[in-house]
Structure 1
Amino acid sequence: MSRAAGYGLAGAGTGPLETLGAAKINLHLHVTGRRDDGYHLLDSLVVFADIGDRVVVDPWPLPAGAETVFRLTGRFAADLACTMPADNLAMRAAAALAGRVNRPLPRMIALDKRLPVASGIGGGSADAAAVLRLLSGAWGVPRPVVMDVAGQLGADVAMCVAACPARIAGVGEVVTPLGHPTARLLGGMGLVLANPLMPLSTPAVFKARAASGAVASAPASLPDAGDLPQLLAALADATNDLAPPARVLLPVIADVETALAALPGACFTRMSGSGATCFALFASPDAAKAASVRLAAARPSWWVAAGRVLAVAPEIRETPSASS
């Protein structure tokens, strides 16, 4: 049974729920300043892909004296094996929301880890956001409460809760979904993600940028509507301010960008977030899939994935079990 993503599902169903912890892609990212507390101010246009981690939650109350079962599987699960379950951001999200609304912790949380760790495309933030979406739907938690909890968990979590094309400001907590014309232009586009499977620390990238003497950027000027070539041209005039320091720390990023730009049909290429994942946009998911097959064959040591840009947040489904 499929459920539309959103809230207000209180009282429905009796079993586990699942959704996608969708990969976040920064189409541009400008560092516009820095707060007194050290957090950087950002301006970014983000979209989300139908590529991500599978997140399953059994939201119903724990039996007395029991603890939440945490299951971690998937290609990149080993990269999180040294983290205690209670410290995983998905588990922290469940605890934070349950504490906020005075609910028992959920019976089970399961992550099928398909996205590389420390790769600039959301990762743990996307998983935490997926848990918040699942629990808030089952428990009937109002969206403002969910977004407030998300903002306390990390700068990227709120935008990952929205999981739709959006303009981002502040330290990441100010999320403004795009108007219909622009969201429609982006939704359904194909994309290829590529990562050389070398983790890159976000604090290290910001530190390298500061050491380079880089100054603050102005917010990007993007059209509210119009055709796709107009939007892509405006994006090309913007930048990812974290790409130059990321390339210094990890020079292979330049090779990833070059390889993506050379793919047939690629119409826009850039590094996402703090790296090292880079992306290429395509006119259709089919074109992206064909290009990804070519890239994966040429670069078998890289992580390569193809999909489409989501126009709305991933749907929520009932599922028989976390292992199905």
Structure 2
Amino acid sequence: MKRISFCITCMNRLEHLQKTLEKNILDNFFVNEIEFVILDYNSQDGLEEWVFQSMMKYIEMGILVYYRTTEPVHYLRSHSRNMAFRLASGNIVCNLDADNYLGKGFAEFILKEFQNKKTIFYVSSLAKRDVVGRVCLNKLDFVAIRGYNEAFVGYGFEDVDLFGRLLDRGLKQCIFLQSEFYNAIVHSNEDRISQEEMFKKYQDIYMNYVNPCLTEVLILYADGNFGMGTIQDNVSMNCNLVNAPYGIKRCLDERFRIAIRKKWEEGLWNNIGNEILLSIKGKSLLFYKNQEGLYHCDRQYYKITDADLIVEIIMVMTEALNFFRIKYSVRNSLAINPEGFGVGSVCKNFDYSHKIILA
């Protein structure tokens, strides 16, 4: 058994892993103490072939373990990380995004910290988006809180929610501050969400700007489903509040988030000539097409066509929806992952004759 497992989930991010994986291994080369766990989350970009051809020596050393699942259609952050953490053999588990450089000596630093301190978990300062997902904790604590919340779909908030539940468990939050531990590959926001369900399934996005802090959003999906609701920019409204919280507590505070106002509705839509018909729980809404987009009840919904803006909207919406889901869960005292977490089947180190079943 290893002391620490660095868990990397990867769906079509070969380009990043080719730059970071070997360097991370060599910068933290403790064969008997450390393992790097790759969960290939049904990548279709040649990841499997590259690992087999270029990284086999590290697998043979025992410092790298390669798992592959062919079940997922979209990238699910919480589920993929839960699978990887469950597969890890280390007493300490650490999420490591494919675009992150650990930095020389990160593993040694974490091992010493966990040896000298009890009931802790380590995170970044949360100031740099690309490193927010880095978290190191005892695997027993991870299992006790039932992992990342798989009710979350899409980009954002799954890590902050995990941090909050670790605090609720009584663990002390520690922060690594060394600048050399914060390096990551610079990439586009589209890269962040390109495998997410909302990005891959959306057909059209429409917005009605109510006021500078309030916007109505309508998303039509190619499969005939839709989602609609109002988002409120609480960040702009409360940016000057005195005695505001910081760090994880600030991320969990609705006053400092872009949030869903009141409710988010989902249903089916149909294209009927010059009209769009939305069906929601027994009621129907009729939207009329015009040059700008759609018109409904004296409100103009503008069709969003700018590619960069679409990416930004989807990132904002998935974070807001995940925050909305956790509020609903807390309000209704719902259990985290009541049906289990990280469930699925994988093959290990290219042995396709035997599947590992995570039940």
Q: What TM-score, normalized to structure 1?
A: 0.30
- Which structure has the highest strand share of the two? 2
Of structures 1 and 2, the one scoring higher in RCO (CA 8 A, sep 6+) is 1
Q: What TM-score, normalized to structure 2?
A: 0.28
* Larger CA Rg, structure 1 vs 2: 2
